[in-house]
Amino acid sequence: MATYNLCILGFGNVGRALARHLLAKTPELRGRYGIEWRLTGVATRRLGWLADARGLDVAALLAGDLPAAPQALSNVREWLAAARADVLFELTSLNPQTGQPAIDHIRAALEYGAHAITANKGTVVHGYHELLALAQAKGRRYLFEATMMAGAPLFSLFRDTLPAVKLLRFRGILNSTTNLIIAEMEQGRSFDEAVKKAQEIGIAETDPAADIDGWDAAVKVCEIATVLMDTPLKLEEVSREGMRGLSAAMVQQARASGRPFKYVQQVERVNGGVVASVGPQQLALDDPLMAASPSSLLAHLEMDMIPGLTINLHIPASGTAGPDVTAYDVLADFIRAVAL
């Protein structure tokens, strides 16, 4: 039975949820997949670079009880070596413009000889082909299921179960914040009131600009084009329209007319390239995207061999996908990397 040294870079909500999942799923990892593990590295801006190749006390870390004398490590490469890493979980914050420093973190892990698993979309948009080639050269895996539709196996669906298909067109509702805001405006709330509601239930960030101005959605369509259409797409090549121009009256009138608004992400093959857009669109009631509930995520895939396949990640109206679901995707990629 193999034992893997695990390192978590970014011990925020997702990193902590991953640690809890690892503890909870230890019997299944051992019994079903033959995986033993120990957490040998944790790093954040606040904690610094913590490493112990013998294993850190996960329960103590979750309780805030830190090692008494962490090593004087100064960078990710020293940290990976001190932890004798077999797997890096890269869970740092997104930089949509460059994907750094997450790309450098993953490059360092792969060059060291560790699998690299991430929830950071920037690594896919700005470093996918380089990192994939490096992983293949090193005989390791670079996996990123948690970067899209947390809980829905979109990338692994194509990689593992849809061989020899060509994705022609993708349409989706990939941002639950914008979806909920439109639903709240349909109920009579102003735009600002709808944003506040999304923040209160934990869907929207304190600063919701990345969602309502379309940046989060644009990054995701770049991922779709890059990975599933093998056509790298830059952020500036995405036609991006935010939703600040929508009013409650516009949204209610659209609903009454039978063509409601949704905040749609789309990318399709055109003349040997791809064309991508994100923004509010009015849809017919029988459009597949109308199946998304106010806080849910949905992807509709049109392929050369399959005319239409819809993935609907249904989330209760009072909840969110949240860090636990994102962390599950990270855990699933760990199992894929070492046991499948």
Distance of CA 58 to the CA centre of its chain: 24
Q: How many CA atoms lie within 13 A of 146 on its CB side?
A: 29
Distance of CA 234 to the CA centre of its chain: 18
Residue 75: which pLDDT band, with cuts at 50, 70 and 90? very high
Q: Please compute the mean of the pLDDT values over residues 74-80 and round it to a whole number.
A: 95
Residue 320 has pLDDT above 60, yes or no: no
What is 2-151+323-339's CATH topology? Rossmann fold (3.40.50)
Query: Average per-residue pLDDT in the chain?
Result: 94
User: Do residues 216 and 150 lie in contact, with contact meaning Cβ atoms separated by under 8 Å?
Assistant: no
CA dist., res. 128 & res. 302, Å (int): 23
Predicted TM-score (pTM) of this structure: 0.92
Domains of the chain, residue spans: 2-151+323-339, 161-317
CA dist., res. 24 & res. 140, Å (int): 26
- Asked whether the bond before 101 is cis by omega within 30 degrees of 0, the reply is yes
What is 161-317's CATH topology? Dihydrodipicolinate Reductase; domain 2 (3.30.360)
User: Do residues 143 and 117 lie in contact, with contact meaning Cβ atoms separated by under 8 Å?
Assistant: yes
User: CA torsion angle for 129, 12, 175, 241 (degrees, to 10)?
Assistant: -70
Q: Report which of residues 30 and 203 the model is more confident about.
A: 30
Supply the pLDDT for residue 170. Answer: 98
User: Do residues 214 and 222 lie in contact, with contact meaning Cβ atoms separated by under 8 Å?
Assistant: no
Beta bridge partners of 116: 88, 142
Supply the pLDDT for residue 317. Answer: 57
Summarize pLDDT for 103-130 with one digit per residue, the tens: 999 999 999 999 999 999 999 999 999 9
Residue 34 has pLDDT above 60, yes or no: yes
Tokens describing residue 306: 């399959």
Q: Please compute the mean of the pLDDT values over residues 192-215 and round it to a whole number.
A: 90
Handedness of CA 12, 67, 100, 298 (dihedral sign): negative
Supply the pLDDT for residue 316. Answer: 65
Residue 322 has pLDDT above 80, yes or no: no
Residue 11: which pLDDT band, with cuts at 50, 70 and 90? very high
Supply the pLDDT for residue 169. Answer: 98
Q: Which of 15, 265, 240 is nearest to 146 (CA)?
A: 15
Tokens describing residue 122: 């920037």
Classify residue 96 as exposed, middle or buried by CB count within 10 Å of its CB (0-12, 13-18, 19+): middle
